[in-house]
């Protein structure tokens, strides 16, 4: 992938990145911040917690660390809810300091301004080494592709790869099975993508698939649950 990357402003005022080689943005153009809150916090973490109260720590696996927005919002979520989270992210093409230091996420919502220092901490954390970043948030990011990554057991998967039209290899059944294998019974897989083929593939590998309302500007998104032992 060519690494020519530009900062753009999405419709909710928050930044995203535009990958010139792929002609693809890192988030929805209708709002990066809103998308992350809606798809990953609300229909990912909040929903998992509603089904599994008091089952801590929550193990999150993210495909594509990118700008660090999902990871940072999860850290804020963990601190605000006082729920320990173990967060594992992978990213083969880390964003440079020149780019991430200009992103406007920490100014976007003043109510969480006091967590701003952690945004940089996540970017500055060493690659391929895990450790605590804040009281409730333990973090590991590996510089590796999904194809080559070693996955840990997870409770919530944030599948945030570039769109299937741009990186079809990441959405194939083989890699979905690899991710599904690492999911604990009862785990949730969430993605902004609502493609029919994805839903059929997730179903065919044994997940219970739901189509949910998408974030502003997008009709639908997808969530899939791995059956629990008792089901
Ligand atoms: C849609 S963006 C992710 C946005 C990110 N979650 C965020 O909050 O900014 C997709 C990410 O997947 C990464 N990526 C590209 N190829 C990959 C691969 N083979 N395996 C895992 N991640 C990959 C890209 O570099 C990019 O950062």
pLDDT interval class at 70 (50, 70, 90): very high
Q: What is the mean pLDDT of residues 159-187?
A: 97
Report the pLDDT value the prediction gives residue 55, as an integer from 0 to 100: 87
Best of 74, 146, 162 for a ligand 1 pocket test (most atoms within 8 Å of beta carbon): 162
What confidence tens digit (pLDDT) does each residue in 72-99 have?
999 999 999 999 999 999 999 999 999 9
Beta strands, E only, the chain? 5-9, 15-19, 24-25, 58-63, 85-90, 131-134, 137-142, 154-159, 183-191, 208-213, 220-225
CB of 172 within 6 A of ligand 1: the answer is no
Alpha carbons 62 and 114: distance in angstroms, whole number:
24
Residue identifier of the C-alpha nearest atom 11 of ligand 1? 64
Give the whole-number percent of the chain exceeding pLDDT 90: 92
pLDDT interval class at 54 (50, 70, 90): confident
Report the pLDDT value the prediction gives residue 91, as an integer from 0 to 100: 98
Report the pLDDT value the prediction gives residue 111, as an integer from 0 to 100: 87
| 35 closest CA partner among 66, 11, 60 | 11
Indicate if the pLDDT at residue 3 is higher than 80: no
* Rounded distance from Cα 83 to ligand 1 centre (Å): 26
Return the residue matching tokens 């003043």. 110
Q: What domains are there in the chain, each with its CATH number?
A: 33-225 (3.40.50.150)
CB of 39 within 6 A of ligand 1: the answer is no
Q: Mean pLDDT over all residues of the chain?
A: 95
């Amino acid at each position: 992938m060519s690494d020519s990357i530009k900062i753009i402003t999405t419709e909710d005022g928050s930044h995203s990145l535009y990958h010139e080689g792929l002609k693809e943005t890192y988030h929805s153009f209708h709002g990066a911040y809103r998308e992350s809150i809606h798809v990953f916090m609300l229909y990912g973490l909040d929903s998992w917690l509603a089904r599994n109260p008091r089952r801590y720590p929550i193990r999150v696996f993210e495909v594509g660390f990118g700008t660090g927005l999902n990871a940072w919002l999860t850290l804020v979520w963990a601190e605000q809810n006082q729920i320990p989270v173990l967060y594992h992210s992978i990213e083969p093409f880390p964003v440079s300091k020149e780019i991430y230091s200009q992103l406007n996420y920490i100014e976007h919502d003043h109510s969480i301004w006091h967590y701003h220092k952690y945004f940089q901490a996540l970017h500055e954390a060493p690659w391929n080494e895990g450790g605590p970043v804040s009281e409730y948030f333990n973090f590991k990011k590996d510089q590796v592709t999904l194809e080559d990554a070693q996955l840990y057991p997870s409770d919530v998967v944030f599948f945030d790869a570039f769109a299937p039209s741009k990186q079809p290899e990441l959405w194939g059944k083989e890699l979905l099975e690899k991710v599904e294998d690492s999911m604990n019974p009862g785990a949730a897989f969430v993605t902004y993508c609502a493609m029919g083929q994805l839903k059929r593939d997730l179903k065919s590998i044994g997940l219970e698939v739901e189509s949910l309302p998408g974030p502003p500007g997008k009709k639908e998104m997808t969530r899939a649950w791995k059956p629990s032992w008792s089901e």
